[in-house]
Amino acid sequence: MAITRAEVIVTSPDRNFVTLKLTTADGVTGLGDATLNGRESAVVAYLRDHVVPLLIDRDESRIEDTWQFLYRGAYWRRGPVTMAAIAAVDTALWDIKGKVAGLPVYQLLGGASREGLLAYGHASGRDLEELFDSVRDHREQGYRAIRVQTGVPGLKSIYGIASNETRRADKSVRYDHEPAQRGSLPAEEDWDTRSYLRHVPGVFEAVRSEFGPETPLLHDAHHRLAPIEAARLGRSLEPYDLFWLEDVTPAENQESLRLVRRHTTTPLAVGEIFNSVWDYQQIIREQLIDYVRSAVTHTGGISHLKKVLDYAAQYQIKSGMHGPTDVSPVGMAAAMHLGLSIHNFGIQEYMKHGARTDQVFQQSFSWRDGYLHPGDKPGLGVDLDADEAGRYPYAQAYLPYNRLADGTIHDW
Ligand code: GCO
Ligand code: MG
């Protein structure tokens, strides 16, 4: 029982992905997603220089020991690069363990706690007409829950809006945007909080009026508000019964959510940029959020995110795993296996990958009537076609950044 080969595969079919492939002495292979949007090369170097040499000859069955070895043995702890690298190793080892056992990973985690995973997609529009078309498009695709993002009058380009410039290269999905834009430097976007706070409640009033009260609607403030502004937004959206309001305020200061919580009953989701349980400790213990947004890919893998969610379950907090196109099909499969097994599953973000991505990664999950299921192939159920992957070399791409009208850098 030993890992004999570890490869870091970088491919860019529709966007950049970093995948770790482990092979054992018995020829069993496992895949792990290590994609960190806009910082992929940092994780590639961390894996190739500081992890791969340590994996060779390790016993692939010892997942927890390997996790602790890579976490504690590095001396320098946590952070997005380290925890994405550890996540890839952890996920690949769970993939191998499932294949050796002849079981899908969710069976190793305690079996299914539900028939399928409620998913949400990203509707967006620069104006109400475009937004309504996007909502209809997502309902036609079968989504039962829909995130709503909108342009703001007076702002040229902001987060989350599929426009001609940001729509994905292959236009495979009309309205999904790919925030990371290929090029040597990040793109600058603009922002004005007061315009946004004046505009958004009216958008949700229009969406509810057009589509009714039933559909779970979500919205992402993408870290842009001060706590009191977040409190105001949460309260102003209460008549529209959101499923959740995401990343209302930068949450490094976990206490800041106390003020938001005092003013609004709109459910809160936080954590897609978190990478360990320590980022959540206070906001879970004080029940300052309702959903944990982390992806398996960015939070130390299946082993660590399960620990975070088991801690959250004690406080009636549910999962809302991050699932944009920059979580690869391997990371999505890991999320689905974990989400299917835990009791406190909430919802799974699901932005469909492009056609070229689906050629590189052969997946076995199902998408039916608004629900996802990881499938029952042993392991994660994903294969990577190395030849196909080789057709798409890495292309530098950055997430945008933000400035206010006076030129001050703001949170993107
Ligand atoms: C989401 C996220 C994304 C991020 C992207 C960054 O809720 O899906 O906010 O849109 O911006 O994943 O890599
Ligand atoms: Mg988000």
pLDDT score of 184: 81
pLDDT score of 158: 81
CA 324 to ligand 1: nearest atom? 8
pLDDT score of 165: 54
pLDDT score of 1: 87
Residues 79-101: tens digit of each pLDDT: 999 999 999 999 999 999 999 99
Is 398 a catalytic site residue? Answer: no
CA 38 to ligand 1: nearest atom? 13
Whether residue 40 has its Cβ less than 6 Å from ligand 1:
no
pLDDT score of 410: 97
- Which residue has the CA at smallest separation from atom 11 of ligand 1? 179
CA 322 to ligand 1: nearest atom? 8
CB 360 within 8 A of CB 388: yes
Other Cβ atoms less than 10 A from the Cβ of 190: the count is 16
pLDDT score of 169: 52
pLDDT score of 333: 98
pLDDT score of 166: 54
- Which residue has the CA at smallest separation from atom 9 of ligand 1? 222
Which ligand has its closest atom nearest to the C-alpha of 397? 1
Pocket test for ligand 1, best of 222, 296, 327, 332 (most atoms within 8 A of CB): 222
CB 248 within 8 A of CB 268: yes
Pocket test for ligand 1, best of 40, 220, 224, 294 (most atoms within 8 A of CB): 220
> Going by C-beta distance under 8 Å and a sequence separation of 6 or more, which residues neighbour residue 302?
90, 91, 94, 105, 109, 296, 334, 337, 338
Whether residue 272 has its Cβ less than 6 Å from ligand 1:
yes
> Going by C-beta distance under 8 Å and a sequence separation of 6 or more, which residues neighbour residue 338?
105, 106, 109, 296, 302, 305, 306, 309, 319, 321
Q: Could you tell me whether strands 361-363 and 17-24 are parallel, antiparallel, or unpaired per DSSP bridges? A: unpaired
Tokens of 320: 């809302």
What's the helix, strand, coil split of the chain in %, to 5?
A: 35, 20, 40
Residues 131-179: tens digit of each pLDDT: 999 999 999 999 999 999 999 999 988 888 876 555 555 555 555 678 8
pTM reported for the whole predicted model: 0.97
Other Cβ atoms less than 10 A from the Cβ of 51: the count is 22
Low-confidence ranges of the chain (pLDDT < 50): none
Is 222 a catalytic site residue? Answer: yes
Distance from residue 137's CA to the centre of ligand 1 (Å): 20
Tokens of 34: 């290590």
- Which residue has the CA at smallest separation from atom 13 of ligand 1? 37
Distance from residue 324's CA to the centre of ligand 1 (Å): 6
Whether residue 178 has its Cβ less than 6 Å from ligand 1:
no
Cβ burial of 43 (10 Å; 0-12, 13-18, 19+) is buried
Tokens of 16: 């950049």
For residue 6, give the amino acid letter: A
